[in-house]
Amino acid sequence: MKLSEQKLKELMKNKLHQAGLSEDHADGVADVLVHADLRGVHSHGAMRVEYYAERIAKGGINTNPQFSFEKTGPSTALFDGDNGAGHVAAKEAMDEAINMAKKSGIGVVGVKRISHSGSLSYFVQQASEENLIGLSVCQSDPMVVPFGGAEAYYGTNPIAFSAPGEEEDFITFDMATTVQAWGKILHARSKNEAIPEDWAVDENGEATTNPFDVKALMPIAGPKGYGLMMMVDILSGVLLGVPFGNNVSSMYHDLSEGRNLGQLHIVINPSYFTDLTTFKQNISQTMKDLNAVKPAPGFDHVSYPGQRSIERAKRYKENGIEIVDEIYEYLVGDAVHFNNYDHKDPFAK
């Protein structure tokens, strides 16, 4: 089933509003979700709507949050999301960081007590669309072994970055600090296919190629990825006074409870460091230079980080976004949710 960007967003907004969000907040969440689907990151798009709807309906996402913003310095602030929709809180917090960066060169906003906020690339692109550099990190629930460990401690703890180039150019990347996302494990299970041995571990902490034996994911590049996920957890958890490490709330444990997650936005104004026009020219030149690098055997060209997602978004805008029939039927149906997620064990077979 192919849907236009606008139609898909409308269906998602309607379902989230049906679950209990205000129209404005349902629209804000749907905007972030359709952004993910446009980039081909379907694990953070329409397939998430039923999960959000169930949590909203059961009270785990505050439908009438009292957001608060407190400046703690000329370029620093805290944004309290009151366990409302994380997508909306993170977007508003980024707007505040952007305003500070325009005035003083940098804006750093800690976003605390929010629910899952979806694809981080959305928020950093808010900054690049304003001729600013955006960096965002957030914590997630424990499902990754620390290097040398046999049980999960950190989450996939993503990092996103975006910088503006000339005209409509921008360079953006959004990455988890694990070798692969959990969705890839589920895909392998559905196909009954083996997975590479560097993706995940079994209950004994040993590498496994059997997707049904997975009990935790592995960090990228061993100790280096482990260090990155620790950094993300400190910046978005410890720094903000919210639960951290293996105390971060589970996505599925109890959908009636708020998740109290943390996120950190850092926005830099290039014009405080260099000439803005030159900066944007050099970003665009970087993109061209990377495309011009001689490709390795097996590759037909070199892409700059995030390029394939940008190209995919252009195709989807022209031809429609591919949505699996089951998700479409849910979005157009009457049911708010089907009780598929509460107290779910993500590692269960």
* 266/244 Cα distance (integer angstroms): 20
Hey, which residues does 262 pair with through a beta bridge?
Answer: 112
Helix, strand, coil percentages (3-state) for the chain, rounded to 5, are 40, 15, 40
25: which 2 tokens? 């907040």
| Catalytic residue (one of 25, 44, 116, 337) | 116
E strand segments, 74-229: 76-80, 106-114, 133-138, 159-164, 170-175, 200-201, 216-217
Contact 154, 197 (CB under 8 A): no
User: To 10 degrees, the CA torsion angle through 235, 237, 239, 243?
Assistant: -170
Complete DSSP assignment for 241-252: TS--GGGSPPSS
- Catalytic annotation on 253? no
Which DSSP state fits 219?
B
Return the number of other C-beta atoms located less than 10 Å from residue 282's C-beta.
17
Name every residue whose Cβ is closer than 8 Å to that of residue 268 and which is 6 or more positions away in sequence: 101, 105, 106, 132, 133, 135
Q: Provide the annotated active-site residues.
A: 116
